[in-house]
Amino acid sequence: MQYDPFQKQAIEYINQGHSVLVSAPTGAGKTLIAEHIIREAIRKKEKVIYTAPIKALSNQKFREFQEETEGHVGILTGDVTLNAQASVLIMTTEIFRNKILESTEVLQDYAWIIFDEIHYLDDYERGSVWEESLIFLPPHMKFLGLSATIPNIDELAQWLENIHGRSVKVVRENKRPVPLHFFYQCQGEVYEEFTHLIKKGFRRVDSIQGHYGKWPQHISVRPNKPVSLIKYLFENDLLPCIYFAFSRKRTEYLAEEIQAMNFLNDQERADIMAHFKELCRRFDLTNEPSAQKLRPLIERGIGYHHAGMLPTLKEVVERLFTSRLLKVIFTTETFALGINMPARTVVFDELRKYYGRGFAVLRTRDFFQMAGRAGRRSIDTEGHVFCRVNPRYISTQELKGIVYGAPEKVASQFNTSYATILNLYQNYRERLYDIYPRSFHYFQVGKNLHKRATDLMRTKVNILKEFGCIRKNRLTAKGIFAGKVYGYELILSQLYEEGVLENFSLRELAVLSTAVVYEPRKGQQPPYLNRLAKNLERMTNKIMDDIHRLEKRAGIRDVSKRCYFHLTAAMEAWVNQEGFQETLEHTDTDEGEMVRYFRMSIQILREISEAPVSDFLKERIQQTIGLINRDVIDSEKQLRM
């Protein structure tokens, strides 16, 4: 394979010993640069860390690198620890951040860190983790940051040069290896030109753009059927296609809507079914109802993929897709991030999605992350992107902004957690506030916001003092404990201080850990609770009320999360060693979600047992984890399959 100029440039900088930031479109080939570092490191007997924002991506890279490095690779993701001494260690960015805050000594042997999808720095919930990792990067480590196209990559580099006092090289590639061609489906017609879409698709309605909800009854909009679009793609030889929809239900609904169609010939059908059968056997899914439900679709070359599905079943669908036997896959956004799964065509069901606090039109960067899945290198001369447009819900202005606008800048979301603050306090005490000027936030925003950010840090320190985590300028035992349990610091450290954790039965530890991590869906019914859960709920609610009072009084907007006991009955069934299907009957949570929450329970239990707690509690926690971590919940097992 011939390296592209941007790949050559980046590799040259790396060989000269510089840290490098790369901004390049989806599918441009950023991984190759990471692989160069990995290869060189193995040759020089150095060690490398690779971090990714989502587990699906770390898992895929684990498998890829394993082949490439002949077993020199390990993984550390909170619920999985495999080969932790390996020269190439894959981890979540959270784990890396926790490690550097603890002590940089453990990182002595690592010469490089690779941050894949580094633009995650501006994720509202998790972005601060990237920023903290970069601020506290030990001086002996060089970094490679791989980013989707962002306009302010230079600003990011300047900030890093400033705080670390060493050169950071920027490599930018704006061209896509396979160019994209945009189409629109509107009022039942396909338009190749934006101007035609405006003239015809938006005819009569253009004058009232933007007045959602006030749509005049006398103007009708002709139906715009997904089925006819898929038919169009099939007839015009534009498959395989990835069809992005923004809810799990919708992906399944759409797949069933086109079930009458068939995209495979006899040979292909025989191939895909043989492959499917073998994968189901390997991943222990042969008797799983969800796999059986998928079967008649797979037989026609159709699939779906979303976070509510079993992780193993998702993996089966991914593998069928990469083997090119699936022709149409309906999926949510998770399919777009970093995973190497290109298609000839990408379809957007709509151009609005839920952004944490409500529905909004897609950001240009997110749009291109997904659109960029269209066009396979060395197979397609161009990628086709179809946007389904309903003039009732989107204005021509908005549409233009998404498709033809510039991608958004990466903006700092610096917002240190209680645990981060506690770990920093350990080393810096009251000089803690000197850290803020090292942040990207400080570099990016004006003076007024500087004050607000420092005030927020002070507020959190004061809360931690009032809560008994810091006393006389030192961390108390409670504070040391809280510093180990990221995200759930206050509730868990209170239970620890009251000595309650020590007295919990295995059952209570299991139920509590899921309640700590669980987030109910909007409008989800409160569960029926047995006595054990009622007691735990009363206990945790009382503590959370106090915590919220403290936080609200201090003016904290995003207060700590409550405990929710919706998964109690399911967790009890599971630790009683009931089967997966029986366990599922105890909850209205999707199976994939349940797996995710049980895995998160294991993770938080691990964190508790790594805090300085009694050997007795450690032993109990190990036993509890042993009861939970089996079959589909065991993510290590899945990785070894």
Ligand X SMILES: Nc1ncnc2c1ncn2[C@@H]1O[C@H](COP(=O)(O)OP(=O)(O)OP(=O)(O)O)[C@@H](O)[C@H]1O
Contact residues for ligand X, defined by CB under 6 A: 1-4, 7, 24, 26-32, 148, 338, 340, 377
Q: Contact, 359 vs 351, CB < 8 A?
A: no
| Minimum gap (Å) between residue 228 Cβ and Mg ion | 34
Q: Report the alpha-carbon distance of residue 435 to residue 521 in Å, rounded.
A: 37
| Minimum gap (Å) between residue 574 Cβ and Mg ion | 35
Long-range own/partner contacts, residues 43-47 (CB < 8 A, 24 or more apart)? 45/87, 46/87, 46/109, 46/110, 46/111, 46/112, 47/87, 47/88, 47/89, 47/109, 47/110, 47/111
Q: Report the alpha-carbon distance of residue 311 to residue 56 in Å, rounded.
A: 9
Closer of 22 and 633 to ligand X (Cβ): 22
What residues are paired with 242 via a beta bridge? Answer: 329, 346
Query: Out of Mg ion, ligand X, none, which partner does residue 28 contact, by CB within 5 to 8 A per kind?
Result: ligand X
Query: Out of ligand X, Mg ion, none, which partner does residue 1 contact, by CB within 5 to 8 A per kind?
Result: ligand X
Closer of 147 and 568 to ligand X (Cβ): 147
Query: Out of ligand X, Mg ion, none, which partner does residue 194 contact, by CB within 5 to 8 A per kind?
Result: none
What residues are paired with 189 via a beta bridge? Answer: 186
What does the DSSP 8-state code read for residue 488? -
Q: Report the alpha-carbon distance of residue 510 to residue 512 in Å, rounded.
A: 6
Which residue, among 451, 447, 343, 355, has the nearest Cα to 408 in the 3D structure? 355
Provide the pairing of β-strand 180-186 with 189-191: antiparallel
Q: Contact, 342 vs 235, CB < 8 A?
A: no
Query: Out of Mg ion, ligand X, none, which partner does residue 375 contact, by CB within 5 to 8 A per kind?
Result: none
| Minimum gap (Å) between residue 88 Cβ and ligand X | 16
| Minimum gap (Å) between residue 260 Cβ and Mg ion | 37
| Minimum gap (Å) between residue 7 Cβ and ligand X | 6
**3-class SS string, 399-452:** HHHHHHCCCCCCCCCCCCCHHHHHHHHHHHHHHHHHHHHHCHHHHHCCHHHHHH
Provide the pairing of β-strand 47-52 with 88-92: parallel
| Minimum gap (Å) between residue 451 Cβ and ligand X | 37
| Minimum gap (Å) between residue 342 Cβ and ligand X | 7
Query: Out of ligand X, Mg ion, none, which partner does residue 58 contact, by CB within 5 to 8 A per kind?
Result: none
Which residues lie near Mg ion (CB under 5 A)?
30, 338
Closer of 114 and 180 to Mg ion (Cβ): 114
| Minimum gap (Å) between residue 20 Cβ and ligand X | 14
Q: Would you call 499 exposed, middle or buried from its count of C-beta atoms within 10 A (0-12, 13-18, 19+)?
A: exposed
Closer of 23 and 423 to Mg ion (Cβ): 23
Q: Would you call 357 exposed, middle or buried from its count of C-beta atoms within 10 A (0-12, 13-18, 19+)?
A: exposed
Closer of 3 and 443 to ligand X (Cβ): 3
Query: Out of ligand X, Mg ion, none, which partner does residue 3 contact, by CB within 5 to 8 A per kind?
Result: ligand X
Query: Out of Mg ion, ligand X, none, which partner does residue 142 contact, by CB within 5 to 8 A per kind?
Result: none
| Minimum gap (Å) between residue 338 Cβ and Mg ion | 4
Closer of 30 and 353 to Mg ion (Cβ): 30
Tokens of 403: 């498709």
Q: Can you tell me whether residue 514 is helix, strand or coil? A: helix
Q: Contact, 52 vs 338, CB < 8 A?
A: yes
What does the DSSP 8-state code read for residue 70? T
Instruction: Give, in order, the Cα–Cα distances in Å from 569 to each of 530, 534, 602.
Output: 8, 12, 17
Query: Out of ligand X, Mg ion, none, which partner does residue 377 contact, by CB within 5 to 8 A per kind?
Result: ligand X
Q: Report the alpha-carbon distance of residue 636 to residue 312 in Å, rounded.
A: 12
Which residue, among 532, 524, 427, 509, has the nearest Cα to 473 in the 3D structure? 427
Prior bond of 240 cis (ω within 30°): yes
Closer of 335 and 414 to ligand X (Cβ): 335
Closer of 338 and 592 to ligand X (Cβ): 338
Q: Report the alpha-carbon distance of residue 195 to residue 45 in Å, rounded.
A: 58
First to last CA, the chain: 30
Closer of 30 and 353 to ligand X (Cβ): 30
| Minimum gap (Å) between residue 554 Cβ and Mg ion | 40
Which residue of the chain is nearest ligand X when measured via CB? 29
| Minimum gap (Å) between residue 396 Cβ and Mg ion | 33
| Minimum gap (Å) between residue 533 Cβ and ligand X | 42
Closer of 30 and 248 to ligand X (Cβ): 30
Closer of 119 and 606 to ligand X (Cβ): 119
- What backbone torsions phi and psi does residue 354 show, to the nearest 5 degrees? -80, 120
Closer of 30 and 72 to ligand X (Cβ): 30
